[in-house]
Structure 1
């Protein structure tokens, strides 16, 4: 059986903590849609085809975790919108990495899919890759995780 949500929230591993916040498919897709400018509850529900109760719970969690914030609707109506916080905006690189992994591994050759393009120049985004301190590519083969040591 997997770790509880509480265990992930207090884990020493940054990946486990991140997964506790945005690790389910709906949370990631909500954040993706907000990046794409879909900011109102009804728009998010239509885009995702998600039930009201699940969307409400995921939005509540994303707001409580500081990934999204609510603000008055930009058109002056009584509605409110969801907006990315700095913490939420910092997920852009994560979503680009997921997108690029999906493009590289989950589509057949020539199969159509959406593209992420630069606004200036209408060009595709360069493939992300981790770099060492000198700017050289680095992989799991030449990196390691230093485990936290506890003093006795």
Structure 2
């Protein structure tokens, strides 16, 4: 074997070893966490829009609060579509909206909350009523519920 072939073989072997070493030193990419799949009769498209918002602490104030929520359309609470197919709403005490989803397991209650948490998580809100025009949500965290009450959203006219 002549000198040229020996140098060529050594060069190829060196390139192969370098490529193999580069593959071995790269850390594997972590898999994206699996997002739970929920069923719910409430879709993001049904919630996107402008809503009047008010809240009550005593059940006997529900009807009056609904009327107050209608007045809230002067300065509406806006629910936008989320980048992941959900909708953007505020968590308690958070100054930035987070992407939420409507969550239901089987025929159980419907919750609104973060898609990464199970249905009925402490930060969720339970859907008390939804008819397309009125959405009533109750916070599951008792401390938050004590401060914010039961939230009444009334869809604003277009």
Give the TM-score normalised by the residue count of structure 2: 0.19
Structure number with higher helix proportion: 1
- Structure with bigger strand share is 2
Structure with the bigger RCO (C-alpha within 8 Å, sep 6+) is 2
**Structure label with greater radius of gyration:** 2
